[in-house]
Chains A and B, each alone.
Chain A
Amino acid sequence: MNYPIWEIPAIGGGSLIALIAILHVYIAHLAVGGGMFIWLTDRKGYRENSAEIHNYVHKHTWFFLLLTMVFGGITGVGIWFIIALIHPAATSSLIHNFVFGWAIEWVFFLGEITALLVYYYQFDHLTQKQRMQLSFLYFLFAWLSLFIINGILSFMLTPGQWLETGNFWHGFFNPSFLPSLLFRTFAAAMIAGLFGYVTTVFLKDSAFRSAMLKYSTRWLLYPLLGLIPSGIWYYFTVPSVNRVSAFSLNPETGIFASLFIVASILIFLLGIFLTMRSGVAAQRIATSALLIIGLGWMGGFEYMREIARKPFVISDYMYSTSILKSDAGKLSREGILANAKWTYVKRVTPQNPMEAGEEIFRLQCSGCHTLNGIRNDIIPQTELLSYTGMISFLFGQGKVHTYMPEFIGTEQEKDALAAYIAGGLHKNPVIMEPQPYQIQPILNTIPDYDQKKAEYILLVWNDLGMHCISDSDPWFVILPPANTLEAQIIKRGPLPQLVADNIELTYRVEPGFENPAAHTQFWDYAERIFGAKLPQNVGLHGNGLSGKFKWNPDRNSFIVETIPVMPYNDDGSFNPYPIFTVEARDSASGKLLAVTQAVTPTSTEMGCRNCHGGGWKRNGIAGVSDETATNILKIHDRLSGTNLYDLARKGQPQLCAGCHPDPALGAEGKAGQMYLSASIHGWHANYMHLKGAQACGMCHPAYASGRTRCSRGIHGEVGVTCVDCHCELADHALTLLKGQADKPGATRLMAHLTPTKAENKDQINPRSPWLNEPDCLTCHEGFQKPASNATSYNVWSKAFEDLYRIRTDNAGIRCAACHNSTHAEYPSENPFGRDRDNIQPLQYSGAPYPIGSNISCEVCHMQKMENPIHHPNFYREFRNKRTEQKTAVAANF
């Protein structure tokens, strides 16, 4: 913000810092530990009166001097140079807060080089006392240098009280100061042993060489006793939020943690090896390997430490983008372009989104990400997202994965950055998904019915208002094709009866939908995913596209479960509302008693592609395409450490509910995993940049101008949207996550979600998906017209039996039998033909209203009745009668 940015997109500043810093830190630790090594080894020479040892120490010191004073000294200045180039603001902050610390370190540096030069150049002419004093002084000054640098370095990770006081000492003696100092001191001794080998393996006398190898091994191994406890202490002084962020969430950490652990083990093993009898060649090879492994060990450790303070360069004070945490709010209000000194684009205009986006990229991304570069390349990390997905990503950045900072800037700046990344870098279209779609209505007929003569009323409904299918079987399955129809049959008369005995119900799908196997790969993978060998066009419960209902006494209904109907017509068209014809016959005589039709709402319009990129699978209309599906799996693998993409490529796609429990499928999932619904809503709620029903429509087939428009009941017509019953996505997710509060992931998904109406998260009522749902009677209290301020916010049905789709009236008739399934409540307005969902009320009463409404008792009773037993407020004219003007209906509601 304050400084120009050195543009090196292919390399990235971080790698340059790492290159110089890791080499330096390795040698700098040698400088400290090696000082102690020289001091104690020279003393050993005096104690053992060994000229051999003195001679060795002299030669070792020459090698040590060349390595530490020249290479170590200058790379130390090099770190300073490079951090000032890459992070000038942070460097400035460290210099200005700790200048006297640095100045003290400079004095120690002067002491170090003086001691070392005098010791080496006058080695043979110093007295024993002088040599002991000088070598000790060298070690002391070197360790004091470490003491100072350690204070400043550990400050960057855990600034502690300094954040409030700004006091030098609070920053210097910060929470991780002591464990870090101990850890580094032990590490220094270990590295001293490691470099002890380097000079030892060149000793000519094999007995002396062998003795000194053993001596060096002691230096290598004894410090381990201190390294392990101090390392653990160090680890636990890092705030837990950083630990989780760095070691559980950040996919970058894994490789460095592995490197550190593997290198630790190899150092130990090779150290043991070097104490054994072996040829000098093997010893030299082992020593060379140890030098490289030691560098890897150091690199692994330093990288982990750096990653642990992400997204900050100075924890809780300055982000890696050089933006002060305290400035973030102002910059998001006023814009980063307006506040950055080193940009010539000062604001986003309709003409300059790409140019502005590129500048924002420099300011906010280039600090950590390369562009087609060697590390943390932005290209593969963003290629799986569309423009809309990029906006969502930026919206959620830093919330769940706290190793990245949140995006700082205005909405326009966020959109411009998304446009630059998705459009400029990936050449994806810069359009906001989903785009409106034109539906072609289809005519449907109403079955014949003679109100005077008919003996039976047949009521059929789909158990859900919409069944969703991902249609991505080669990659993963969220839900399979599986619509469930239920039916009740009423024998008409003054005292109508629900009947079941001696009645057989059959069903058949409308022409064009009989062969879903021709349009989906469900049957190719059903055995692998569901463990069931299914014949083509037969669903999970053995039902096909035509067949018989079964009587279910628990539900008091006929039922046919999981019909594998797809929204794909053989003619290539997309129709998410296929009509089933249902016939009731006398099972003995075969006499047709009643016939009607019902819609099975089923849609593959799952909007994953809106953000995850790729096209639609089926004729550009619906279905999760291979590209979208693989993009999702790759992201899941990267962020959750799974290997779903590889498994799928090997022909083993997974059912999401295989891991994430899902009551909708009765799947138990894996222990510790959250419900699929909690995970998927909880995750995406953090990234969803839209509000209200628009947010729902991004993923569900509920987009108001979409291909399905599933919210087609009277609620939709009078302006009640998804969120009026299900709540805003944030609340919706919170209720599900609170229901999973005992699962490890729930807390971090909830951390950045804020309830829209409840004062805080404590007031949010937990629930389980599919089992605790919005309850109609919350708004329609006492079956009445909802009060003007009625809300179902945060109120859920208690038990399974309380669900609308299960409940009955006082006569045992299911709510949905007369009112139709959710999202299609009578009178419904289906986008594929106005009355497609209203067939039964039109058939039985000539009007699209709930069965028996408008005091149409005769539909079942064949006469007017006086005692309305079904439910309170039943006996009256329907409130929302259709007029030619839809708005008039709404006003009346």
Chain B
Amino acid sequence: MDPLTLIPTPDTIPAPSWLFLLLDVSTFTLHILLINIVLGGSLILLFTRAGKQSAEPENKLQEGIAGKLPVIIALAINFGVAPLLFLQVIYGHLFYTSSVLMAVYWILIIPLLIVGYYGAYYYIRKKSSAPMLSRIAILLTSLILLYIGFIFVSNMTMMAQPEKWVAYFENRGGTLLNSGDPTIIPRYLHFVTASIAIGGLFLAIVWWFRKQKNAAGAEEKIKSALRIFGIATAMQVVIGFWFLLALPSEFIIQFMGQNLFFTLLLFAGIFLGIGAIVFAFLGNLTFTAAFFVATILTMVITRANLRALYLGDAFSLSSLKVAPQYGVMALFFIIFAVGIVSVVYMVRMAISANERRIAS
């Protein structure tokens, strides 16, 4: 059976595909950063609590993230909705298919995420009164986040490889994973390691804010947090090469000069990442963050490039038919702008309230 015949016919889209790709990649960037903070933060909380620190609980490095975890989860989920929506507009026919193939694992994300989310709340509420149980809760949350990450990696790679779909005819029960793929492990580790790094970076930023309010030992905490970032990102470089080399050779060639844009972007990312590591070890938060943001942008685009390589002849965005709805599109952008203004307005209320709290 020719796997290409299995590819569903896509529906028409209501605006040019580049717009949805842009919306997808940009909202995904925010989403993945937030997810990285959540997972990395949970893992850091889990592992650093094991260490004995004499400081008061509020003064521990990792506690910079604890109280914020549920809020970040809420935002991470919200910012996950947008890229998942825009992805479905341009790649829906591929994504639905791969989701069905792993339906059982895929739908389990929902109840598990609910448990993991409540786990984070439980941890924050009970970390002092029930340290053991709250630790189990944050362990559970971390494991669930790791699970969800793996399933997403499996789905996003399966989606781009129709040649693997024929396995459906041997297993229609929705329990197929793309686990045999040589890139899965390095790709997944790429995500987990990034999470630890970004968790560290986030901590550094939290302590930078605290430093502005003259919190004790903030400078030292920033350095520790940056060290976490630096070490994880250094490992990330190694894992990144593993990932690169695990790719099919025809793709590697593309990233090694055959496609100039792909190559430049990837190597820019690598060098920017190395730059971020250097600044992290130097304890310079501003430059670390700047290099990091630049790295992330190159890597997110590289991810989209890799997807295009995988799909090859099977599907290209240019084949999608457009039936424009520009009026509704304009309305969306207007409401988006109003929404952002409202959010800023509300956040300012929060800041002013917070100032009153501190003042009182």
Contacts and interface: CB of A to CB of B under 8 A. Distances in A.
Interface in B97-117: 97, 99-101, 103, 106-107, 109-110, 113-114, 117
Contact of A92 (B7, B92, B328): B92
Contacts of A95: 11, 85, 88-89, 92
B55 interface: no
B343 interface: yes
A137 B75 CA distance: 18
Contact of A110 (B14, B78, B106, B360): B78
Contacts of B332: 100, 103-104, 107
Contact of B342 (A6, A99, A137): A137
A122 B360 CA distance: 13
A4 B168 contact: yes
B346 A137 contact: yes
A130 B349 contact: yes
Contact count band on B: 35 or more
A341 B3 CA distance: 10
B174 A92 contact: no
Interface string B1-29: 10001111111111000001001000000
Contact of B101 (A4, A8, A82, A121): A4
Contact of A103 (B9, B82, B96): B82
Interface in A75-125: 75, 77-78, 80-82, 84-85, 88-89, 91-93, 95-97, 99-104, 106-111, 113-115, 117-118, 121-122, 124-125
Contacts of B312: none
Contacts of B103: 6, 8, 85
B148 to A, nearest CB: 11
Given A92-B11, A96-B13, A113 B75 contact: yes
A29 B117 CA distance: 21
Contacts of B85: 95, 99, 102-103, 106
Nearest to B96: A88
B215 interface: no
A7 B346 CA distance: 46
B52 interface: no
A835 B161 CA distance: 77
A84 B96 contact: yes
B339 A122 contact: no
Given A71-B114, A110-B78, A168 B328 contact: yes
B14 A99 contact: yes
B289 to A, nearest CB: 24
A81 B111 CA distance: 12
B238 interface: no
Nearest to A102: B85
A365 to B, nearest CB: 15
Contacts of A8: 103, 173-174
B350 A118 contact: yes
Contacts of B114: 70-71, 74-75
A81 B347 contact: no
A568 B174 CA distance: 59
A545 to B, nearest CB: 64
Contacts of A107: 332, 335-336, 338-339
B346 A96 contact: no
Nearest to B326: A100
Interface string A171-193: 00000000000000000000000
Interface string B160-179: 00000100110011100000
A17 B105 CA distance: 16
B14 A96 contact: yes
A140 to B, nearest CB: 9
Contacts of B349: 118, 122, 126, 130, 133-134
B339 A108 contact: yes
B331 interface: yes
Interface string A1-35: 01111111000000010001000000000000000
A109 B6 contact: no
Contact of A3 (B8, B80, B88, B346): B8
Contacts of A77: 77, 80-81, 110
A102 B165 CA distance: 29
B159 to A, nearest CB: 12
A3 B96 contact: yes
B354 A20 contact: no
B213 interface: no
Which residue, A2, A20, A70, has most C-beta atoms of chain B within 10 A? A70
Contacts of A89: 8
Contacts of B210: none
A92 B14 CA distance: 13
A46 interface: no
B245 interface: no
A622 interface: no
Interface string A373-387: 000000000000000
A67 to B, nearest CB: 11
Contacts of A84: 88, 96, 99
A324 to B, nearest CB: 11
- For A75, A78, A106, A130, the residue with the greatest tally of chain B CB atoms inside 10 Å of its CB is A106
B136 to A, nearest CB: 18
Contacts of B8: 2-3, 88-89, 341
State which size class the interface on A falls in: 35 or more
B279 interface: no
B279 to A, nearest CB: 32
Given A85-B99, A108-B339, A110-B343, A96 B357 contact: no
B110 A20 contact: yes
Contact of B100 (A4, A74, A114): A4
A92 B323 CA distance: 15
Contacts of B128: none
Contact of B77 (A73, A81, A92, A342): A73
A509 B83 CA distance: 87
A551 B349 CA distance: 105
A441 interface: no
Given A103-B332, A118-B350, A342-B6, A74 B14 contact: no
B93 A92 contact: yes
A7 B339 CA distance: 41
Contact of B354 (A88, A103, A122): A122
B267 to A, nearest CB: 34
Contacts of B9: 2
Interface in B138-195: 165, 168-169, 172-174
Specify which of A16, A96, A102 lies most central, judged by the most chain B CB atoms within 10 Å of its CB: A96
Given A71-B114, A74-B113, A74-B114, A100 B328 contact: yes
A373 B78 CA distance: 35
A337 B168 CA distance: 17
A315 B293 CA distance: 47
Contacts of B353: 118, 122, 125-126, 130
26 contacts: A3-B93, A3-B96, A4-B100, A5-B100, A5-B172, A20-B110, A69-B74, A74-B77, A81-B109, A85-B99, A85-B107, A88-B99, A92-B96, A95-B85, A96-B12, A99-B85, A103-B23, A107-B335, A118-B349, A122-B357, A125-B354, A130-B353, A166-B323, A168-B325, A341-B6, A342-B6
Given A5-B100, A91-B92, 10 more contacts: A3-B100, A74-B77, A74-B110, A84-B96, A85-B100, A96-B89, A103-B85, A107-B332, A114-B342, A341-B8
